[in-house]
Amino acid sequence: MSRENIQLACALALIVCLPWNSVKAEIATSCQNGVENGVLLNLTDPWGFIWAPDNLASYVPNSNCLWLLSPQVNGSSVQSISIKIIQMETESCCDYFAVYNGTTIDSPLVVQIYGTAMPAVVVEGETALLQLSSDGTVDRDGVAAFYWATEVEDEIPWDSLPCPFDCFGRGTCVKGTCVCDHGYLGGLCKNDDSKRIFERAI
Ligand SMILES: [Ca+2]
């Protein structure tokens, strides 16, 4: 039976063939470590990385990735959390990366970032709620950032910090920051530079 005949048969017997037709119907989350939309990824290390999407593509429509940073130092909470954004790209109008001072998105908003802005962020509190939110259309590369308890900044082993996704194999990791090989750009070296895009077009 040809593919066309199989599809016709499935159309006539939709219930029987539903699994065949819906193999790719399931939409996976794109949040870090496969965490589902709306579910907190709790991070308590004194410093660490966050990122979304959790793959080589873009974030998915209607993302609601949430991270709760509550770094602990010697078993105690901290007074301030610093966040360095190393990769940022959302749709300019409708998707954003937000930082709240507290434990929920109802906590005081510290900053809401769109597009490719990468401001330094400091949360004057013991917890920070981070959110990557997207609407139903137009998806971009997403966000990656390094956070740390501000009071232990001098203790961070900057020289040996790894980089998320190991710079996609397209760059060198230097103190947790990717230095991209020729032809690539972006905070994680995920993207082709303009010269490579031009070369592919001709
Ligand atoms: Ca969007």
Residue 145 Cα, ligand 1 centroid: separation in angstroms? 20
Q: Are residues 3 and 44 in the same domain?
A: no
Mean pLDDT (whole number) for 15-38? 63
Q: Are residues 75 and 175 in the same domain?
A: no
Residue 91 Cα, ligand 1 centroid: separation in angstroms? 5
Of all residues in the chain, what percent carry a pLDDT higher than 90? Answer: 74
Per-residue pLDDT of 56-115, as tens digits, reads 689 999 999 999 999 999 999 999 999 999 999 999 999 999 999 999 999 999 999 999
Tally of CB atoms within 10 A around 170: 20
DSSP structural state of residue 181: P
Residue 157 Cα, ligand 1 centroid: separation in angstroms? 36
Mean residue pLDDT across the chain: 87
- 16: pLDDT strictly greater than 60: no
Q: Which of 134, 147, 28 is nearest to 91 (CA)?
A: 134
Per-residue pLDDT of 159-192, as tens digits, reads 999 999 999 999 999 999 999 999 999 899 988 8
Q: Are residues 84 and 3 in the same domain?
A: no
Q: Are residues 60 and 37 in the same domain?
A: yes
Q: Are residues 137 and 51 in the same domain?
A: yes
Strands 184-185 and 191-192: antiparallel
Residues 6+ positions from 101 with CB-CB distance below 8 Å:
107, 108, 109, 110, 123, 124, 125, 127, 128
Residue 94 Cα, ligand 1 centroid: separation in angstroms? 5
Residue 90 Cα, ligand 1 centroid: separation in angstroms? 7
Q: Are residues 103 and 186 in the same domain?
A: no
How far apart, in whole angstroms, are the C-alpha atoms of residue 19 and residue 123?
48
Residue 159 Cα, ligand 1 centroid: separation in angstroms? 36
pLDDT of residue 196: 66
Counting the structural domains of the chain, the total is: 3
Amino acid, single-letter form, for residue 44: T
- 29: pLDDT strictly greater than 90: no
* Residue that wins the pLDDT comparison between 21 and 54: 54
Q: Are residues 88 and 78 in the same domain?
A: yes
pLDDT of residue 17: 40
How far apart, in whole angstroms, are the C-alpha atoms of residue 60 and residue 133?
10
Report the CATH number that the domain containing residue 180 is assigned in CATH: 2.10.25
Of all residues in the chain, what percent carry a pLDDT higher than 70? Answer: 84
Strands 109-113 and 121-123: unpaired
Residue 139 Cα, ligand 1 centroid: separation in angstroms? 5
Mean pLDDT (whole number) for 144-172? 95
Q: Are residues 125 and 141 in the same domain?
A: yes
Q: Are residues 126 and 201 in the same domain?
A: no
Residue 136 Cα, ligand 1 centroid: separation in angstroms? 6
**Domain range enclosing 1:** 1-27
pLDDT of residue 19: 42
Q: Are residues 53 and 97 in the same domain?
A: yes
Tally of CB atoms within 10 A around 131: 21
**Alpha carbon separation from 116 to 69, 78, 119 (Å, rounded):** 23, 29, 10
Residue 115 Cα, ligand 1 centroid: separation in angstroms? 11
pTM: 0.82
pLDDT of residue 199: 72
Contact between 107 and 101 under an 8 Å Cβ cutoff? The reply is yes
Residue 62 Cα, ligand 1 centroid: separation in angstroms? 8
Report the CATH number that the domain containing residue 79 is assigned in CATH: 2.60.120.290
Q: Which residues surround ligand 1, an ion (CB under 5 A)?
A: 91, 94-95, 134-135, 138
pLDDT of residue 99: 98
Q: Are residues 50 and 146 in the same domain?
A: yes
